[in-house]
Chain A
Amino acid sequence: MERTKESKSVTIGKSRQEVSDFWADPLIFKEVLDTVDLVQNIGQDSFQISLKNIGNKFAMKISQKNQDIVVYLLEGKNLDGKITVEFKDAPSGRGTEVRLIADGNLVVFLGGSMSEQVPECLRKSKQLIETGEIPTTKGQPHGPSVW
């Protein structure tokens, strides 16, 4: 299995408490990733994640969570890695700097290359935390396609 590491950051205009609480709930992955179908709590900080389409299930465990960092460990078929989310106060009251580090073989979980999906994941989390929704144009009207 190919192991890669991707690290990206974003500033979210909310307090560190609010942002870290959001990221400490694994349901966020169902919101920000198109791949996740179901997140089930199966024990103390342990979860089972079901993926769409391929029916793959895997285990996710929170190994650390506080206002500075949340660490998720992931293990399953064709999937093995760690997602670390670090939080820092942004300067001048601009909210919270969030750094997401994906390390391992996580392509199945993220639904694409880590270099594309990590920033997209962060962007969606910012949209969700700041506005309460992820903007989309899915399902909107469109004229007939022509060749």
Chain B
Amino acid sequence: MKAVCWYGSTDVRVENVPEPKITNPHDAIVRVTCATICGSDLHLYSGLVPTVEKGDIIGHEFIGEIVAVGPEVKRLKSGDRVVVVSVIACGKCSYCKDGLWSLCDNSNPNAVQQEKVLGYSTAAIFGYSHLFGGYAGAFAEYVRVPFAENSAFKVPSDLPDEKLVFISDSVPTGYMGAENCDIKHGDTVAVWGSGAVGLFAMKSARMLGAEKVVAIDRFQWRLDKAKEFCGAICVNYENENVIDVLKDITAGRGPDKCIDAVGMEAHTTGLGDLYDKAKQAVRLETDRPHVLRDAFISCRKGGTVSILGVYAGLVDKVPFGALFNKALIIRSGQMNGQKYAPMLIDKLIKNELDPSFVVTHRMKLDQTPEAFKIFRDKRESCVRIILRP
């Protein structure tokens, strides 16, 4: 089968590889009908995520059809159309039972490796480095889905892939980022990043009762989407001082809730941008924490900063004094997609949610190397690229 394999920084190739097989009793094999390049895939593409190995199949956001199941899979069968949550979780450990699926104790075969970095291991993720399990990813014609009954959710045949595929990762990530804010009526929620996840966080913040949503980005076409589809007030940080604008929008209070939907490859203006890029390039820090810095300073006293952009390791010069002295609440984590998928699918069925407004490009799996370039360079007003085998 065809699969997109990682060979180094900015080097992904479409290769012919063997098809996956049922290995464990709770496995299923899914024929991928549609996948999308997530912003977090760019961290792999940029070579910033450790423990990706040459030849690894990448990709974690996808939908497809089940073609085989293991002997212990009872609730799914061949022919079922499923959207598969990107986090792999056993469903049996205490974390899964508490709804903290991304913290699963059991799904990561490389737990030892991760414990050395994080202290304790977390759940595995499809196609997202050996630190996160080393499972083959979904930019392929077929993918093996471990613990399939927990990750694969049946979806109706009359809804298009382009609406459903984002239930795999981006929509629940955005939703969890907003839910973690514990939004109250009248709240102002500032969201850094107007990529798909940021846009879904804005929509979710609206759904959960935010009065004002502020979108912060540097690309006007993305801010336009935030305004059009999420009713956001837009701030272009290349033209305005974010902290001043947020203070002004909230009449001096500051946003009640701040969401970081950017993560480790954030940009900023001026010398600060060069400083962190240089440190990251020579591995003096793994992540560029511009958004954390802005969010900690901007957020109102006693407010909440919700981090859903991906961070890999170490950051420098984060204003911890602001966090401490303003009594900020920090919420974070990989999304617990299994917790949200049924509710979000239901909203899609009822036409209360349509994530397909983020799709700007439709390409073939064969074109993935070019798709990564377009997505990384934000060419052609790109927000999200749909890939089909």
Measuring CB to CB, which residues of chain A are less than 8 angstroms from any residue of chain B? 11, 13, 94-95, 116, 119-120, 123, 126-127, 130-146
Contacts and interface: CB of A to CB of B under 8 A. Distances in A.
15 contacts: A11-B94, A116-B112, A126-B105, A131-B26, A135-B106, A135-B108, A135-B146, A138-B23, A139-B21, A139-B23, A141-B3, A143-B6, A143-B15, A143-B55, A144-B55
B109 A136 contact: yes
Contact of A137 (B54, B55, B92, B109): B109
B99 interface: no
Contacts, number: 97
B175 interface: no
A140 B25 contact: no
A137 B26 contact: no
B18 A132 contact: no
A138 B133 CA distance: 11
Contacts of A94: 94
A131 B92 contact: yes
Indicate the member of A132, A137, A143, A144 with the most B CB atoms within 10 Å.
A143
B235 interface: no
A142 B55 contact: yes
B23 A140 contact: yes
B17 interface: yes
Contact of B90 (A131, A143, A146): A131
A114 to B, nearest CB: 14
Contacts of A140: 20, 23, 135-136, 144
Interface string B1-15: 101011100000101
Interface residues of B, number: 43
Contact of A142 (B57, B108, B146): B57
A123 B111 CA distance: 9
A20 B332 CA distance: 37
B106 A131 contact: yes
Interface string B89-103: 011111001000000
B56 A126 contact: no
A141 B26 contact: no
B21 A133 contact: no
Contacts of B54: 143, 145-146
Contacts of A144: 5, 15, 17, 55
Contacts of A142: 5, 17, 55-57, 136
B105 A132 contact: no
Interface in B1-55: 1, 3, 5-7, 13, 15, 17-21, 23-26, 54-55
Nearest to A10: B105
Nearest to B110: A137
Interface of B: 1, 3, 5-7, 13, 15, 17-21, 23-26, 54-57, 72, 90-94, 97, 105-109, 111-112, 124, 133-136, 140, 144, 146-147
Q: Which of A123, A141, A145 has the most CB of B within 10 A?
A: A141
Given A136-B109, A139-B21, A141-B3, A130 B90 contact: yes
B92 A145 contact: no
Contact of B24 (A11, A120, A135, A141): A135
Contact of B106 (A116, A127, A143): A127
A138 B26 CA distance: 15
Nearest to B72: A132
A145 B6 CA distance: 11
A142 B134 CA distance: 11
A119 B112 contact: yes
Contacts of B133: 135, 137
A140 B145 CA distance: 11
A141 B19 contact: yes
Contacts of A135: 24, 90, 106-109, 124, 133, 146-147
A95 B136 CA distance: 32
Nearest to B108: A135
A74 B170 CA distance: 52
Nearest to A133: B24
Contacts of A134: 24
